[in-house]
Amino acid sequence: MSANTVSPSELQALQHEIFRLNAVREVQNLMGAYTVNHLPKNMHDHIELFAMNMPDVSVEVGDRGVYVGPDALRTLFGKQFSMDLKGNMLIHYLATPMIEVAADGKTAKGVWRSPGIEAVRYEEGRNPVPLWSFGSYACDFIYVDGKWKIWHLHWFRVVKCTFKDGWVDDLSMTYTGKMAESPDLKPTTYHNPYTPETVQESVPPCPLPYDSWADDGWAVKEQILGER
């Protein structure tokens, strides 16, 4: 196909596909910005990365419930996740990026496996406790005013335990429940942390190609390989 034979509709289709390809990089960097700033000093700025104009913008963390709406997210990141700056560390890496941009280019889905290390000072004057924190992120993204934003974020916590005892022996943080002074929350949609008695599932799955957004609960459905 030469430049002289490209029709306006073909050119428009090519431009749209280039937009979708660029969206993969932009979504990846957006999540990178989230994890880089996921530390006590910058936690309150997280809301800048979210689609705060959407009434159903949401965050779900393990079994702590689902925070829905801009005010709930401000409470989570501005108040409940606040901690002393000295001695506390939260590092969650992004691995195995799996990103699908909708055919219409208006939304995207992404999943990342995430190994993490933390140091948390639970009591003033005591040494911080080193922790393992492993899980997966599953997110919906939406294109708003020329920028990609996080629309729904779900942290699937698989392991959280002390570095010393490990995930087989330390099950004290397997189920944590709601944090103190939580706003009205929706119930947790999925929480299946590792214990010696549980069976792990392929949740969240690798996102499938899709045409346009549908609220179908994709992130809590098991991966079916034959569907790809």
Is 199:172 a contact under the CB 8 Å cutoff?
no
pLDDT at 2 over 60: no
Which CATH number does the domain housing residue 72 bear?
3.10.450.50
* pLDDT surpassing 80 at residue 15: yes
> Is 197 in contact with 206 (CB distance < 8 Å)?
no
The residue that leads in pLDDT, 162 or 224, is 162
- How far apart are the C-alpha atoms of 86 and 65, rounded to whole Å? 28
| Other residues' Cβ atoms within 10 Å of the Cβ of residue 136 | 20
Q: To the nearest whole number, what is the mean pLDDT of the chain?
A: 94
Report yes or no on whether pTM surpasses 0.75: yes
Instruction: Kindly report whether the peptide bond that precedes residue 40 is cis, defined as omega within 30 degrees of 0.
Output: no
> What is 164-194 written as a DSSP string?
TTHHHH--TTS---PPTT--S-BPPS-----
Q: 92 in a domain, yes or no?
A: yes
| pLDDT at residue number 81 | 84
Inside any domain, residue 228: no
Residue written as token pair 């729904």: 152
For the chain, report the end-to-end CA distance as a whole number of angstroms. 30
Let me know if residue 63 belongs to a domain.
yes
pLDDT band at 85 (very low <50, low <70, confident <90, very high): confident
pLDDT-wise least confident of 43-47, 111-115, 127-131, 188-192: 43-47
Element (H, E) at 200: none
Query: 227 in a domain, yes or no?
Result: no
- Is residue 2 one of the residues assigned to a domain? no
Query: Helices marked H in 37-179 — which ranges?
Result: 70-75, 166-169
Asked whether 154 and 42 are in contact (CB, 8 A), the reply is: no
Least confident of 4-8, 140-144, 163-167: 4-8
Q: What three-state secondary structure class fits 117? A: strand
In a domain, 185, yes or no: yes
Total domain count for the chain?
1
Mean pLDDT of 46-72: 97
Q: Is residue 1 part of a domain?
A: no
Domain range for residue 56?
9-222
Does residue 29 lie in a domain region?
yes
Q: What are phi and psi of 16, to 5 degrees?
A: -65, -40
pLDDT of residue 228: 62
Residue tagged 């990089």 (tokens): 25
